[in-house]
Amino acid sequence: MIAPVVAVDRQGPDPLHKQIYDGFRTAIVLGNLRPGQRVPSSRSLGEELKISRLPVLNAYGQLTAEGYFESRTGAGTFVSESLPESLTICKQTPPPAASISSGPRPIARRSLLLPEYQRPLWAGGWGAFSLHQPAFDHFPFPIWSGLLMRHSRSPRWGAIHNVDPLGSETFRQAICDYLRTARAVRCEPGQVMVVSGSQHALEISARVLLGKGSAIWMEEPGYWLARKVFSGAGCRMVPVPVDEEGLMVSAGIKRCPAARAVYVTPSHQYPLGATMSAARRMQLLNWAQSAGSWIIEDDYDSEYRFESAPISSLQGLDGNERVIYIGTFSKVLFPSLRLGYLVIPRDLVGHFSAVRSAMDIFPPYLYQEAITDFMREGHFARHIRKMRLLYGERRTALVDSLRERLGAKVKVHGAQAGMHLAITLPEGFSDLEVANRAAGKGLWLWPLSPSYLGKSPRQGLILGFGNTAVEEMPRAVSQLRAMLER
């Protein structure tokens, strides 16, 4: 049991038992010790405070007599469940945060660039259509937990001592092997940095590459969480429209030819789902080289293509090391793992490492060890293959249900890959209104319009299908239809 902070001073004016009594009384009044909480035995507190047991016994006696403590036979001494009312009131009503006292409370100007955090209503829960949700119940948790066991019961000392800001060397080697083969990424382990997800990768990239006022092309519509990073960094975000071939590079060149960087999701454009064509990829790489710009390639959802073979990454097509490549384990494993990686142009590794080291020093060891084995022993490839089939079926079930139950009312976008698709709504609908209303009924629909930077966004919904079984799809789509009927 944790001993409470009780200051005793042998040279103090008060006798020790009085000091102990006061210490406990104050802790209870301030709410540091709470009703029902156990306190140490008089013997162990005496040891802790390096004093004899007698004054402790004395103080405990008085605290019990006055109703602060109660002893339960065989169980020990506790703070009373029924404390004098005056105390309880004081404890239960701390002054509200708004009343925090006088005096200036200045915060940084750049922190005002981000609005105070508030979770949108429609992001409140999970279930059919929730975004970014893999099929948790198909993940091989027993295998996974066996690997965690292997590396936590008797850890490799080299792993537990590793403090490299890039992460574990063996893990980075496994990531390289995977990326070279599956994504044609050109990399060596010395360029790979293990981070806690793609958001962290974006944050580090922005810190190294972008300053206040730096212009960056953003896909329009695009990924709202990426926008948080760039707006928090004070960048000037230039919306560049997307079509069925992905980012419209010539529109970008027209609007802002000298942007410092571009943020792009070429495998499965978020949220509309286009795959960037080979021609656009070459055009983007050529522009970046001639403009001296950086390409931040967020290659999420590259694992799950349903119709065609995957297209190699932008990074692999680039001969000038202008691409910062970002990947995540959130889709293949699960998001609450918080693990992803960056592939960094070689001349920037020292800068990326400096920023990472200042930000959170290095990544935790255990997941790195476990995923290395998960990859090396074939579980990773096997799970991807299995999930590609599963998500393909769920996708088909959703598209069929939408056609059947909503027909011409909605248009489906981007169902060729990944774990979500988008639908656009007919004239007259407000997606925010639909999403908020649906959230009230426990149906989590993400509105499309907040994905737009510019005015007059399209109205639509982004529907996740990763964690919804084929047989549940018709019922879920009926619920969705009900939301669109009212």
- Which residues from 252-311 bind a second copy, rule CB under 8 A? 260, 289-290, 292, 307-311
* Whether the Cβ atoms of residue 222 and residue 264 lie closer than 8 Å to each other: no
Annotate each residue in 124-153 with x if it binds a second copy (CB under 8 A) or - if it does not, as one string: --x------x--x----xx-xx--xx--xx
For residues 427-466, which are near a second copy according to CB under 8 A? none
Judged by beta carbon, residue 225 or residue 482, the one nearer a second copy is 225
Task: For tokens 């571009």, name the residue.
Answer: 262
Q: Return the number of the residue (102 or 456) whose C-beta is nearest a second copy.
A: 102
Interface pick for a second copy out of 43, 346, 403, 441 (rule CB under 8 A): 346
Question: Side-chain half-sphere of 121: how many Cα atoms within 13 Å?
Answer: 14
- C-beta separation of 473 from 394 below 8 A: yes
Rounded Cα distance between 167 and 361, Å, is 10
Which CB sits closer to a second copy, 148 or 439? 148
Q: Select from 331-339, 407-415, 448-456, 470-478 the region that touches a second copy (CB under 8 A).
A: 331-339
Q: DSSP of 391-417, one letter per residue?
A: HHHHHHHHHHHHHHHHGGGSEEE-TTB
Cβ proximity to a second copy, 297 vs 425, nearer residue: 297
- Pick the binder of a second copy from 68, 83, 129, 197 (CB under 8 A): 197
- For a second copy, which is the closer residue by CB, 368 or 459? 368
- What is the C-alpha separation between 185 and 75, in angstroms, rounded? 62
> Within 392-431, which residues bind a second copy (CB under 8 A)?
none
Cis peptide upstream of residue 189 (ω within 30 degrees of 0): no
Interaction of residue 93 with a second copy, rule CB under 8 A = no
Give the nearer residue to a second copy in terms of CB position, either 202 or 402. 202
Q: How far is the CB of 86 from a second copy (least distance, A)?
A: 19
- Binding to a second copy (CB under 8 A) within 355-394 occurs at 355-367, 378, 380-381, 384
Q: Which is nearer to a second copy, 177 or 245 (CB)?
A: 177
Nearer to a second copy, 49 or 477 (CB): 49
> By three-state DSSP, how is residue 262 classified?
strand
d(CA 256, CA 239): 10
Kindly state whether residue 101 participates in binding a second copy, applying the rule CB under 8 A: yes
d(CA 380, CA 336): 17
Task: Report the C-alpha dihedral over residues 20, 23, 24, 25, rounded to 10 degrees.
Answer: 120
Residue 235 contacts residue 210 (beta carbons within 8 Å) = yes
**What type of residue is 458?**
R
For a second copy, the closer CB: 206 or 406: 206
In terms of CB distance, is 200 or 394 closer to a second copy? 200
462: its two tokens: 């982004």
Choice from 237, 339, 398, 417 touching a second copy (CB under 8 A): 339
Amino acid occupying residue 292: G
Distance of closest approach, residue 459 Cβ to a second copy, in angstroms? 25
Q: Of 17, 172, 200, 420, which lies in the binding site for a second copy, with binding defined by CB under 8 A?
A: 200
Q: Does 17 bind a second copy (CB under 8 A)?
A: no
The one segment of 68-76, 203-211, 248-256, 418-426 that binds a second copy by CB under 8 A: 203-211
Beta bridge partners of 241: 220
Site map 20..59 versus a second copy, x via CB under 8 A: -------x--xxxxx--x----------xxx---------
Residue 450 burial (CB count, 10 A): 18
Question: Which residue bears the tokens 């200036």?
Answer: 104
Q: Is residue 89 within the footprint of a second copy (CB under 8 A)?
A: no
Q: Which is nearer to a second copy, 84 or 94 (CB)?
A: 94
**Structure token digits, residue 446:** 């993400």
Residue list 108-127, contact with a second copy (CB under 8 A): 108-111, 114-118, 123, 126
Q: Cβ 429 to a second copy, closest distance in Å?
A: 27
163-192: contacts with a second copy (CB under 8 A): 163, 165, 177-178, 180-186, 188
Is residue 13 close enough to count as binding a second copy by CB under 8 A? no
**Closest separation in Å from C-beta 328 to a second copy:** 11
Helices (H), 244-277: 249-255
CA distances from 384 to 256, 299, 389, 448 (A): 39, 15, 9, 28
Instruction: Choose the binding region for a second copy from 208-216, 420-428, 438-446, 469-477 (rule: CB under 8 A).
Output: 208-216
| Separation of alpha carbons 461 and 449, rounded Å | 8
Asked if 486 touches a second copy (CB under 8 A), the answer is no
Q: How far apart are CA 60 and CA 79, in angstroms?
A: 11
H/E segment holding residue 225: helix 224-232
Q: What is the DSSP letter of 97?
A: G
Number of residues that bind a second copy (CB under 8 A): 130
- Residue 226 beta carbon to a second copy: minimum distance, rounded to whole angstroms: 10
- For the beta sheet containing 460-464, the strands, ordered from the edge strand earlier in sequence to the opposite edge, are 411-413, 420-424, 460-464, 446-447
Look at residue 276 and give its three-state secondary structure.
coil
